[in-house]
Amino acid sequence: MPDENTSPTLEKHGFVIVAPDMRCNNNCLFCYDKDSPVEALESVSVNELVERTLAEAARQGIRRVGVSGGEPTIYPGIVDFARRLRGRGLATSILTNGRTLKDAAWLEELLDAGVDHFHVSVHSDLAHEHDAVTRAPGSFDDTLQGLCNIDQARRRRRLDLTIAHVMHRRNYRRLEHFARFIAPFGPYYVLLSYSIVHQASPDDQMNLLAPFETIMPEVLKACQTFDALGQKVYVDNVPPCVMRGHERICLDFQKTNNLNIIGLKMLGRSEGKRYKAVRQSINSHERAFAAQCADCAIRPYCGGLLGSYAEHFGQPKLRPYSPQEIRDRLSAAQAAAN
């Protein structure tokens, strides 16, 4: 996992994620937030957002806030929000598609307000494929210019960049190409995230899912490419047994055991309050365990797999860890350390 010694702006213990505005200037194929009820799309006031965020951060002992969405950079109060968080000692990350950051002056305004980390979603190394996923013509060029502006800003001030790449049937075959495309931007890490599809999602989203046995050979080849390029990479929404031998880059395992991630998702007015705190460490409400998981030696430390995966593909082909395997691997690690 990222650590504070090499990335001074990123917290290693967790963060609060807030989603103040569910509107977005993309319309991604796999996105479930775009299907939120209309009543939940109205953006919240900055005062309410700051008050709720500070309370949750204090309760959890967390000093970093990640602003998500929707697309957070189109939230009208984002600059005021970041500035007020900084005034209370909290750092701000923005989880963004990067499109509005093509405006260098706007980027500088966000930085001056206290934003010190951008987590940018990039969906392909090819413009037409990226735009086909976002269903927003010109979005690739916008995001690319945003990344270039971030790169320039990083040359003169402390600023972290991380990249998210959602993997699905349309793009997994180009993961090695994507690695070579994105590494020159020098992100602190790249996150290869298996597409999250909720169990109630429509068929066109479910059909984006690719079975682990199909996608993982390409994922591991891409990880080798990233490693050869000296680029940190993590894999998300894939259980550790599927990452066997590469568990150190399995973010699911890290999220389950090491990270404290609390999400404040907007609710409709009918709920009686605007936000509900949801523990996001492993999205447990969307997780399931296969039958063979019952015999796994690391079952108490594993987040399982997405319930939508099991629903779509049936019982997955998973090989549980045996106690003897764990003992053998621990012994081998100790011997290597000596």
How confident is the model over 165-208, as pLDDT tens digits? 999 999 999 999 999 999 999 999 999 999 877 655 666 777 88
| pLDDT at residue number 21 | 84
| pLDDT at residue number 30 | 86
Backbone angles phi, psi at 189, to 5 degrees: -155, 160
pLDDT for residue 310 is more than 90: no
The alpha carbon dihedral of 283, 195, 252, 303 has a sign of: positive
In the chain, the percentage of residues whose pLDDT exceeds 90 is 57
Query: What residues does each domain of the chain span?
Result: 14-285
| pLDDT at residue number 5 | 39
When pLDDT is cut at 50, 70 and 90, the band that residue 303 belongs to is confident
Angle between helices 78-87 and 104-113 in degrees, nearest 10: 30
The tokens describing 269, both together, are 């007015």
* pTM for this prediction: 0.88
pLDDT for residue 122 is more than 70: yes
Is CATH 3.10.20.30 the right assignment for the domain spanning 14-285? no
pLDDT for residue 124 is more than 80: yes
